[in-house]
């Protein structure tokens, strides 16, 4: 069974900390995505990557950066966490063709205190 | 630009009743359409998708959806819901380019929370 694995289900960090959220997929997918999910706002795209070392800004990239050094791993970085970054973070991946849809990880619920 | 509107943020329904979750999209080109389900504290799972062909699409767990091009809608239905269907449901769209491949990324609606009561 194909999988997207997010390293932490729950995370609590302090304001100003540097935070790393890790995502690994075992499907050899080219494309990977980071979303944040907030009540009433649905899923908002933060960053995506269509190849190793390639990245593109999504709709809300401010305060975030990403790293994709290997095809299977896509990391989301909060350089200096703030309370307004408290959210559910979802990683997803897909092959080049959208007809297969996206495969999502289980999510990381991040609380910044 | 594409957009997706899920007309109801919450839908309460009794067990064994039918349900319809509404989704409308806007796009000037052909699209692929998807419904995803998110159970509490989990990621999103693909429920069904429309790519082409028959406008009635069947998915997992007894759900189906009908693509209506003239109405730009893709409503999700189930004739008899169970308690276990309590979840949040997301409609998503991706536009197709001139040669048929998808352009851009999936655009998601804001979700509909289905609450099934005994």
pLDDT digits (tens, 9 = 90+) for A4-49: 999 899 999 999 999 999 999 998 888 999 999 998 888 999 999 9
CA distance B36 to B43: 10
Measure CB to CB from residue B90 to each of A33, A42, A109 and give the nearest one.
A42
| Contacting residues for B20 by C-beta, under 8 A, at least 6 apart | B75, B76, B77
Instruction: Establish if A107 touches chain B: CB-CB under 8 angstroms.
Output: yes
**What confidence tens digit (pLDDT) does each residue in B48-105 have?**
999 888 899 999 999 999 999 999 999 999 999 999 999 999 999 987 765 555 556 7
Closest alpha carbon within chain A to B10: A40
Which residues in chain A have Cβ-Cβ distances shorter than 8 Å to B49?
99, 101
Alpha-carbon dihedral B93, B94, B97, B103, rounded to 10 degrees: 160
CA distance A4 to A72: 9
Residues in chain B: 118
Minimal C-alpha gap between B40 and chain A (Å): 10
Helix (H, G, I), strand (E, B) or coil at A85: helix
CA distance B51 to B31: 7
Of B64, B69, B3, B56, nearest to B30 by C-alpha is B69
Cα diameter, chain A? 40
Cβ contact, residue pair A104, B45, below 8 Å: yes
Mean pLDDT within A80-109: 90
Minimal C-alpha gap between B16 and chain A (Å): 27
Query: Phi/psi at A102 (nearest 5 deg)?
Result: -100, 150
Which residues in chain A have Cβ-Cβ distances shorter than 8 Å to B3?
none
For the residues of A27-54, what is the DSSP string, one character each?
A: S--SEEEEEEEETTTEEEEEEEESSTT-
Cβ contact, residue pair A90, B108, below 8 Å: no
Neighbours of A83 (CB within 10 A): 9
Query: Which A residues 18-57 touch B at CB under 8 Å?
Result: 33, 40-43, 45, 48
- Supply the pLDDT for residue B97: 63
- Supply the pLDDT for residue A80: 96
User: In this complex, how many residue pairs, one in chain A and one in chain B, have their CB atoms less than 8 Å apart?
Assistant: 53
- A68: pLDDT strictly greater than 90: yes
Query: Phi/psi at B34 (nearest 5 deg)?
Result: -140, 150
CA distance A57 to A75: 14
Of B98, B55, B52, nearest to B75 by C-alpha is B55
- Supply the pLDDT for residue B30: 82
**What confidence tens digit (pLDDT) does each residue in A37-62 have?**
998 888 999 999 988 989 999 989 99
Return the bridge partners of B61, or none: none
CA distance A27 to A15: 35
């Amino acid at each position: 069974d194909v999988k997207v694995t997010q390293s932490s289900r729950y995370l609590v960090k302090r304001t100003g900390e540097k935070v790393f959220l890790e995502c690994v997929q075992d499907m050899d997918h080219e494309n990977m995505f980071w979303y944040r999910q907030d009540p009433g706002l649905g899923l908002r795209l933060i960053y995506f990557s269509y190849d190793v070392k390639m990245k593109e800004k999504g709709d809300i990239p401010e305060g975030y950066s990403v790293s994709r050094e290997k095809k299977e791993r896509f990391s989301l970085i909060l350089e200096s966490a703030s309370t307004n970054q408290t959210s559910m973070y979802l990683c997803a991946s897909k092959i080049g063709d959208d007809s297969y849809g996206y495969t999502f990880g289980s999510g990381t619920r991040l609380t910044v205190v | 630009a594409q957009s997706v509107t899920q007309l109801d943020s919450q839908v309460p329904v009794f067990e064994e009743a039918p349900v319809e979750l509404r989704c409308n999209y806007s796009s000037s080109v052909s699209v692929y359409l998807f419904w995803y389900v998110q159970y509490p504290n989990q990621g999103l799972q693909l429920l069904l998708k429309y790519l082409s062909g028959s406008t009635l699409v069947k998915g997992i767990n007894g759900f189906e959806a009908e693509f209506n091009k003239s109405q730009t809608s893709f409503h999700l239905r189930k004739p008899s819901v169970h308690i276990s269907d309590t979840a949040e449901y997301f409609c998503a769209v991706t536009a197709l380019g001139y040669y048929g491949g998808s352009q851009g990324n999936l655009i998601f609606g804001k979700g509909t929370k289905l609450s099934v009561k005994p």
